[in-house]
Amino acid sequence: MIKKFRKGVFTISIHAIVILIYAFCMILLALYYNKREVSSGDDFIIAGHRLPLIVVIGTLTASWVGSGSLVGGASFVYQYGPLAAIFYFLGAPLGIIVMYFIAARTRALAKRTVPEMLEVRFGKYTRLFSTIFILLTYLSVLSYQFISGGYVLNITTGLPESIGSLLTVLFVIVLAATGGLFSVSYTDMFSALLIIVGFILAVPLILVEVDGISNLVSNLPEAKFTFSGGLTPLQLVGYFLPLFVYIIGDQSMLQRFSASKTEQGASRSTIGFFIGVVTVYSLITFFVTASIVLLPDIKPDTALIELANQSLPIPIGALILAAFTALLITTANSFLLSMSGNIVYDLYGQFKGKLPENKYLKFNRISVIIIGIIAYLIGTFFTSVLKLSIFAYTMYGAAVTPVILAGFFWKRATSQGALASIIIGGGSTILIEMIGNPIGGNTILLSLPLSVIALVGVSLLTKDNSIPLSTNSSINQ
């Protein structure tokens, strides 16, 4: 089905050629926005607060639906079945509903990073420690984008996965270091549209391959067509919670609200974001369920990639793989940009004082290169995208999200409580991962309660003069 051309020690498929053409177009777009729009650190990190509504919706959707969904989520569906996937995927849509109530407030604050936002309410030490745990989380997230890029290039060209990952790293660094959030946001919008269109076009073709829904269901292994998928209730909760708490406070998402032109546009973008995520998750679940039947012996992480590569006509398969690759790349770009903001504004800027905007822009680009290399090295030590993504979601959800929500909604929260929550939430995640969870299930079942208990307990035992994050003009200064 897939025509290939011999080239040296590996093969080049038509799918790979389409991916390369699409990648080249992304670079051209990045160079265009670099020349036209990017002249300061704010332009680079938050697009100068100038993104229109439709672009914000597209970049939110594409940034979230990276390899954590297309590879990690697909792996979960392949291993445990479509009904159990409801519990896994449900966390993100429910989290987006919560985000609706903080989107406008985030835009009103107009900050570049989450630690910068938290400093307004909880002080400089909260900013410092939240930066540390965000960087640890995002390095994990970034590394599994590179792992997934290696999967795609391995399947479509025959390149070793390690070489494919390295090429993905190099491409992502070049793209992120040029156009900043402007180029990422617009390529995100097109990539999100492309993957949805490609999936929808592929639905009838896959239905023909499996001889209809009823035949698909009847051919599923019995264990994979239950609501538990063989998991215990505690394990299901352990898969649900990380996505739920992570998406609410995800710096990459909040930065897009801050990049919106208006507060109203930031709030409205969550509606489109919700629709986009539910649509993509439903399509992922359908296609991976088909791959269980059609491709029973593949690696779970590669379920969607193999389906597009083996079971679809070349034009549709190439379209999906190109969009798939684009989403991995733009998601990686998003986290590179986000982390460069943490390093430049939350670490370097705090110790060196305020710098000229052209210096911020230069240091942001240097940071992108360094971070990309470190994340690639981390990725060489892991093999499972699902496991790495759950760890990342847990780290962020336990260390940062409770403090963000307290900053917006709980007046009694104190700086001491926030700092305790971050340190205990993040520290316990690392410790439990090292020694193993004594109650079973994922780490978040212990680390999130510990974080919340620390936040509430220490806040009730202390007093300070912090004020809630709001739209007050005094906060925005």
With 90 as the cut, is the pLDDT of residue 389 above it? Answer: no
Residue 414 falls within a domain, yes or no?
no
Lowest mean pLDDT among 88-97, 300-309, 324-333, 353-362: 353-362
Taking residues 68-88, report their average pLDDT: 92
With 70 as the cut, is the pLDDT of residue 384 above it? Answer: no
Name the residue with higher pLDDT: 223 or 269. Answer: 269
Name the residue with higher pLDDT: 35 or 426. Answer: 426
Residue 163 falls within a domain, yes or no?
yes
Q: Which residues contact 239 (CB under 8 A, 6 or more apart)?
A: 76, 87, 88, 231, 390, 442
> Which structural domain, as residue segments, surrounds residue 307?
16-386
Per-residue pLDDT band at 466 (split at 50, 70, 90):
low
Name the residue with higher pLDDT: 20 or 356. Answer: 20
Per-residue pLDDT band at 315 (split at 50, 70, 90):
confident
Taking residues 208-212, report their average pLDDT: 93
Residue 64 falls within a domain, yes or no?
yes
Per-residue pLDDT band at 470 (split at 50, 70, 90):
low
Residue 378 falls within a domain, yes or no?
yes
Percent with pLDDT over 70 in the chain: 90
- Give burial (CB, 10 Å; 0-12/13-18/19+) of 440: exposed
State the first-to-last Cα distance of the chain, in angstroms, to the nearest integer: 60
pLDDT in tens, 266-289: 999 999 999 999 999 999 999 999
Total of domains in the chain: 1
- Tell me, what's the pLDDT at 275? 96
- Tell me, what's the pLDDT at 351? 74
Supply the DSSP symbol for 437.
Answer: -
Its pTM stands at: 0.85
- Tell me, what's the pLDDT at 257? 94
With 80 as the cut, is the pLDDT of residue 409 above it? Answer: yes
CATH of residue 220: 1.20.1730.10
Residue 275 falls within a domain, yes or no?
yes
* Location of structure tokens 């990422």: 184
Percent with pLDDT over 90 in the chain: 45
Per-residue pLDDT band at 332 (split at 50, 70, 90):
confident
Helix (H, G, I), strand (E, B) or coil at 55: helix
Per-residue pLDDT band at 382 (split at 50, 70, 90):
low
Lowest mean pLDDT among 12-26, 273-287, 395-409: 12-26
With 70 as the cut, is the pLDDT of residue 152 above it? Answer: yes
With 60 as the cut, is the pLDDT of residue 4 above it? Answer: no
With 60 as the cut, is the pLDDT of residue 455 above it? Answer: yes
Per-residue pLDDT band at 10 (split at 50, 70, 90):
very low
Q: At what angle do helices 303-310 and 314-341 cross, to 10 degrees?
A: 150
Taking residues 373-385, report their average pLDDT: 75
- Compute the distance between CA of residue 419 and CA of residue 462 in angstroms, rounded to an integer: 12
Residue 447 falls within a domain, yes or no?
no
Name the residue with higher pLDDT: 440 or 87. Answer: 87
Taking residues 441-449, report their average pLDDT: 91
Taking residues 151-178, report their average pLDDT: 82
Residue 283 falls within a domain, yes or no?
yes
- Mean pLDDT over all residues of the chain? 85
Residue 58 falls within a domain, yes or no?
yes
